[in-house]
Amino acid sequence: MTHVTALPGNPYDGHTLATVISEIEALIGNTIERALLDKGYRGHNAPPDYKFRVFISGQKRRVTPQIKRELRRRSAVEPVIGHLKSEHRMGRNYLWHRQGDAINAVLAAVGYFRRLTCWLRLLLWQIIATLAEPRVNPA
């Protein structure tokens, strides 16, 4: 998860690209060469001064094998979105007004990140415990 923001109203997915791209580039400190998006971004309004390619799931033309792999990898993001909606109260917002929408989106992302860091901490402890076990020589 790179960027989370709440956009007021109910904007069409393709119309949010111009707003979000500059914020993501500022956040990661690099320019975006290509974007792998779902079909909601078919009629995107990406700014003309940005020179990146938009690839949509299900696209057949001008798709190299590397981009095909990246598009398949993109499908791993969809369960994260569903998880945010079900486990982190993104399905319904209980906070008021636009500021409440923004707070809800950020809190859901922080909650997901916290769960991810807990999982990584457990994995690290298991690796350390495995490496710290004394090895017994059979001879």
pLDDT in tens, the chain (139 residues): 667 777 777 777 777 887 788 888 888 888 888 887 777 776 677 767 766 777 777 788 888 888 888 888 877 777 776 776 777 666 777 777 878 877 877 777 777 777 778 888 889 988 988 888 777 766 6
Domain range holding 51? 13-132
Question: Does some domain include residue 125?
Answer: yes
Q: Of the candidates 26, 58, 28, 29, which has an alpha carbon nearest to the alpha carbon of residue 41?
A: 58
Question: Does some domain include residue 84?
Answer: yes
pTM over 0.75: no
Question: Does some domain include residue 111?
Answer: yes
Task: Write out the two tokens for 47.
Answer: 């700014």
Task: Write out the two tokens for 62.
Answer: 């001008």
Question: Does some domain include residue 43?
Answer: yes
Q: DSSP character for 29? A: T
Give the side-chain half-sphere CA count within 13 A for 13. 8
Number of domains making up the chain: 1
